[in-house]
């Protein structure tokens, strides 16, 4: 099974380097026309992918997709963006909620802010088989789990063959933005901000950031940890979560509404 450390060195680290190479191109040429591709890739891979599909669907079973093929397609964009595969992602997230900000939490900043944001990628952890049985029973998810790294290189080479700038501004810059946003969630959002609900963990709301990231579960950590199975994290108009508007379009009629 893919380990965190191997995924970091073979996918995330090269992706970070591509992201900075893209920034060098952007600022040296002053050419911004490719940023449309960055935004589109970021939206699909981070908002629709990591925030809604990986987190809400795979991580918490908060809703069911109307079209079962959709999460399988979106998973490929998440792999392209460096988020890894659904099995590893769900396993890590289950550990996070089982041991939030305690011993056993994979990325609590209680150890150090560096660990919470970046260092946890270098600590290997066994897959939580008990909580991943449904995914492990699906041959497709097992296959992409075993081939996460080759798939990332395949997509990188494929986009490069189409246009190197297309690759740099999607997988490179889009992936770098996604990596930094996840670092904010795993580190800063468990140290800074406010609490709407009393919880046993240190998850906090950085409400202003919800308007920049569009993913409530990232910036609204206190809301999320108070109601982890809720399909969106907005409890007021000023708490923005794009999932509140997108998930009803994708979900079956038995969408769980806990408002």
* pLDDT value, residue 126: 87
* pLDDT value, residue 259: 45
184 C-beta neighbours (distance < 10 Å), count: 18
Find, among 117, 148, 130, the residue nearest to 11 by Cα.
148
pTM exceeding the 0.85 threshold for the entire prediction: yes
* pLDDT value, residue 258: 43
d(CA 62, CA 55): 9
d(CA 173, CA 124): 26
120, 4 in Cβ contact below 8 A?
yes
Find, among 256, 102, 39, 83, the residue nearest to 185 by Cα.
83
* pLDDT value, residue 46: 96
Q: Which H or E run contains 73?
A: helix 69-80
| Mean pLDDT in consecutive groups of 10 residues from the start of the chain, 259 residues | 91 98 96 95 97 97 95 98 97 96 94 95 91 96 98 98 98 97 94 96 96 90 96 95 94 66
């Amino acid at each position: 099974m893919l380990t965190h450390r191997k995924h970091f060195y073979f996918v995330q680290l090269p992706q970070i380097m591509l992201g900075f190479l893209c920034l060098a191109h952007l600022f040296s040429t002053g050419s911004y026309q490719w940023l449309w591709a960055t935004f589109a890739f970021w939206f699909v891979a981070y908002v629709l992918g990591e925030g809604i599909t990986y987190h809400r669907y795979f991580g918490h079973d908060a809703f069911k997709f109307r079209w079962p093929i959709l999460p399988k397609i979106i998973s490929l964009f998440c792999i392209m963006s460096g988020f890894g595969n659904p099995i590893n992602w769900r396993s890590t997230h289950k550990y996070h909620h089982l041991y939030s900000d305690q011993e056993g939490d994979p990325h609590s900043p209680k150890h150090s802010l560096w660990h919470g944001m970046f260092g946890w990628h270098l600590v290997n952890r066994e897959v939580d088989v008990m909580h991943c049985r449904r995914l492990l029973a699906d041959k497709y998810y097992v296959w992409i789990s075993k081939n996460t790294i080759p798939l990332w290189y395949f997509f990188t080479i494929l986009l490069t063959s189409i246009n190197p700038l297309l690759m740099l501004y999607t997988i490179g810059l889009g992936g770098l933005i996604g990596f930094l946003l996840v670092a904010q969630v795993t580190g800063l959002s468990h140290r800074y901000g406010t609490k709407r609900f009393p919880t046993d963990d240190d998850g906090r709301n950085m409400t202003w950031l919800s308007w920049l990231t569009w993913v409530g579960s990232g910036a609204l950590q206190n809301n999320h940890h108070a109601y982890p199975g809720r399909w969106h994290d907005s409890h007021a108009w000023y708490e923005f979560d794009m999932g509140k508007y997108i998930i009803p379009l994708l979900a079956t009629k038995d969408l769980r509404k806990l408002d």
